[in-house]
Amino acid sequence: MTKKMLALTLGLSGTALAAALVLPAVAQESLLPEGFGKPADTPAPRPAPTPSPTPAPSSTAAPKGGPAGAPPVAPPTVATLDGGDTDAGDEASDGEEGTSGQLKYDLPPGARRLLTRVGPLTPETGGMAPDAFGVRGQYAAAIMRSMRGQVASRWGQILLRRALASAIDTPDTINGADLAADRAGLLLRLGESTTARMIVQSVDYDRATPRLVATAQQTYLANADPSGLCPYVPAGLAHGDEQSWRLAAAMCAGMSGEAGPAGWAIGRVRSSGKISNFDILLAERVLGATGAGRRSTTIEWDKVGRLTSWRFGLATATGIDIPAPLRATEAGSIRSWTVLAPMTPMGDRIAAAPYAASRGVLSSEAYVSLLSAASSEEEPPEALAAQTDLLRSAFSGANAADRYTAMEEYWSAGTGATARYAALVATARAAAALPTGADVGADPWQLLGSMLTAGYDNRAVQWVSKLSVGGHGWGIMAVGSPRPLTGVGAGSIGSFASDDDSAETLRSKFLLAGLAGLGRIDAGQASSAASDLGVDLGKQTRWTRAISEAAQRREPGMVALLAAAGMQGEWDKIPPYHLYHIVRALHDVGLDAEARMIAAEALVRV
């Protein structure tokens, strides 16, 4: 079997099969929002231990850390996705196992990547400037490691992804490969598996530190690409979890056509009793696909209690369906990995797509394209067909009235806040194309919110003349418009608050926070409105001081990171003074568009 055929058989990345194409703490006072606690070290990832899988944690279990009152929905960190207390053991790695199946390449010195600047995006390709994170590398890395990975704002995650993917200079206080590991690890927890792989591949694999090797294992599993593990096997055996890397060595040996070493390594792991047999069977399934192992390996999920990255990655790579009960309890990050993995069954991708779209993992265009692809398959599910029919009418109805009616039906069809917001994301381009002469009622706030999910602010501002001051749509445009609206003051905010049906008038408090952060209301009017609403936007904490100081130093990357740290959880748990400091800091470092979109999103989602 050729390597190309092998890649097609496994659904793996062809680039990972050719090594020539493999792209290459100082203690700090916590400056995170109150309640964040000490950042935890990230141990090497590993498959779950025997004898039995650990039951899945309840999705309502309250996590430690996070802003005061943070909702109990934080996905596990990279370290806990696989769980287990597998003992790495003191036994030395066998030399043959460490080299079997490894792909090697030689590059001239001039072609080697330096660790002084790591990342794929340059300012010319949409990235930030090389000095966007400043010079405090250990501090930035500590914040990255402490974050759970769930950012309330879709636009906040989009901005953070851009910052983490930028080609940034490595500060003298940290190794470039270690910082890359922390960047990729946070991206994985955000569900951004493909961007995490770009970061990992920005470091030549023979320059990877133990921290990056551990993160690389998680990254290639998240991308359902076991062959990507192969260059890291020697370092993994030397510095990581011995048993999981022995399984990786076995799979890589099989991919190189070396059935003997592969079988020997599998047998050694099984005899150790430190890895659950189910996880070993998944590795054998990979070997079976290569022709180096048993082709009749049967995978039964009935005794598996939770979905780990190992199980997700190997099952997806070999075309094994993951049962719905496990899907129902999977971490949010795995839901996003599912959407981004093209070999995943379409039904699973569609089920996870609203979450990924609402978080910013999928753009509006990508979300619509995925729905379109699913509906074009033979005999699509009835619910999906009805959904796409409505979406099609929203884009291409006979007239503006029909298109808007289809949009309204589509927005109300979803169940739950995530599905409803994802529906706004899907119709963004259709909403932007609707003529301003269309009859959309007295307060088309959903229409405006839909446009702003994709950044159509110049199109949305054309509707301002049709809005009533103090209405929901007016509030969204008061912060989302590319230029300030006239007549904004304490009185208009009071009018907005009089019709505010959000809990504890949170929407009105967010409106004031956004306006004040953007400098669109003078200090006296802001103070009067704050007194009326009973909110203190001037509250100071270590986090507020940190983000303000990063803005003063003109560090947009650090501001983006701290902004995301201040928006962990869901919108209804974000303090209004957090939004004020976030919007103000982003505005001050030249990220005004992102500041406006985050402020507008807050008013749409609460």
The DSSP result for 40-65, as a single string, is PP-PPP-PPPSSSPPPPPPTTPPPS-
Q: Is the pLDDT of residue 318 over 80?
A: yes
| Model confidence pLDDT, tens digit, residues 551-563 | 999 999 999 999 9
Residues 262 and 203 in one domain: yes
Looking at the predicted structure, is the pLDDT value of residue 157 above 70? yes
**Is residue 292 packed enough to be buried (19+ CB in 10 Å), middle (13-18) or exposed (0-12)?**
buried
The reported pTM is 0.82
pLDDT, residue 68, reads: 34
- Residues 202, 323 within the same domain: yes
Q: Are residues 288 and 426 in the same domain?
A: no
Tell me: pLDDT of 179 over 90.
Answer: yes
Question: What H or E segment, with its residue span, contains residue 168?
Answer: strand 168-169
Say if residue 218 is in the same domain as residue 319.
yes
Give tens-digit pLDDT for 387-432.
Answer: 899 999 999 999 999 999 999 999 999 889 999 999 999 999 999 9
* Among the ranges given (10-19, 142-151, 233-242, 290-299), the one the predictor scored with the smallest mean pLDDT: 10-19
Rounded Cα gap, residues 204 and 405, in angstroms:
53
Q: Is residue 100 part of a domain?
A: no
In a domain, 489, yes or no: no
Residue type, 532: D
- Is 407 inside any structural domain? yes
Q: Which helix (H) or strand (E) holds 452?
A: helix 445-453
Angle among Cα 317, 323, 328 to the nearest 5 degrees reads 110
d(CA 205, CA 252): 16
Percent of the chain topping pLDDT 90? 71
pLDDT at residue 83, rounded to an integer? 32
Nearest to 568 by CA among 68, 137, 124, 113: 68
- 294-307 in b/e form (b: 16+ CB < 10 A) is eeebebebeebbbb
Say which range, 80-84, 181-185, 198-202, 482-486, has the weakest mean pLDDT: 80-84
Note whether 408 and 423 are within 8 A (CB). Answer: no
pLDDT in tens, 342-397: 999 999 999 999 999 999 999 999 999 999 999 988 888 888 888 899 999 999 99
Exposed, middle or buried by CB within 10 Å (0-12, 13-18, 19+), for 395?
A: middle
| 298, 70 Cβ separation under 8 angstroms | no
What is the rounded CA–CA span in Å between residue 184 and residue 213? 11
Residue 191 lies in a domain: yes
The answer to whether 163 and 126 have CB atoms below 8 angstroms apart is: no
In a domain, 565, yes or no: no
pLDDT digits (tens, 9 = 90+) for 194-239: 999 999 999 999 999 999 999 999 999 999 999 999 999 999 999 8
Residues 364, 318 within the same domain: no
**Which of 443, 458, 474 represents a domain boundary (last residue)?**
443
User: What count of other Cβ atoms lies within 10 Å of the Cβ of residue 135?
Assistant: 14
Half-sphere exposure of 392 (CA within 13 A, CB side): 11
Q: In terms of domains, do 308 and 208 share one?
A: yes
Q: Are residues 247 and 334 in the same domain?
A: yes
**First-to-last CA distance in the chain?**
55
Sign of the torsion angle spanned by Cα atoms 8, 357, 314, 186: positive
Over range 298-302, report the average pLDDT: 89
Of 415, 443, 471, the residue at which a domain comes to its end is 443
Share of the chain above pLDDT 70, in %: 81
Residue at a domain's end among 277, 311, 340: 340
Q: Where are the alpha helices (DSSP H) in 102-175?
A: 137-146, 154-165
Tracing tokens 């950042």 back to the chain, one arrives at 39
The mean pLDDT value for 259-265 works out to 85
Residue 562, in any domain of the structure: no
Question: Under a CB-based contact definition with an 8 Å cutoff, are residues 402 and 393 in contact?
Answer: yes
Within 8 A by CB and 6+ apart from 436, the residues are: 462, 463, 466
Domain of residue 286, residue span: 153-159+180-340
318 and 373 in a single domain? The answer is no
* Local confidence band at 257 (pLDDT 50, 70, 90 cut-offs): confident
C-alpha 110/C-alpha 31 separation (Å) is 40
Asked if residue 362 and residue 318 are part of one domain, the reply reads no
Residue 509 lies in a domain: no
Q: Are residues 349 and 375 in the same domain?
A: yes
Tokens 């909403």 belong to residue: 431
* 558 lies in some domain: no
Contacts of 464 (CB under 8 A, 6+ apart): 474, 477, 481, 485
Do 227 and 371 share a domain, yes or no?
no
Report whether 312 contacts 337 (CB < 8 A).
yes
3-class secondary structure, 321:
coil
> How many independent structural domains does the chain possess?
2
Residues 313 and 414 in one domain: no
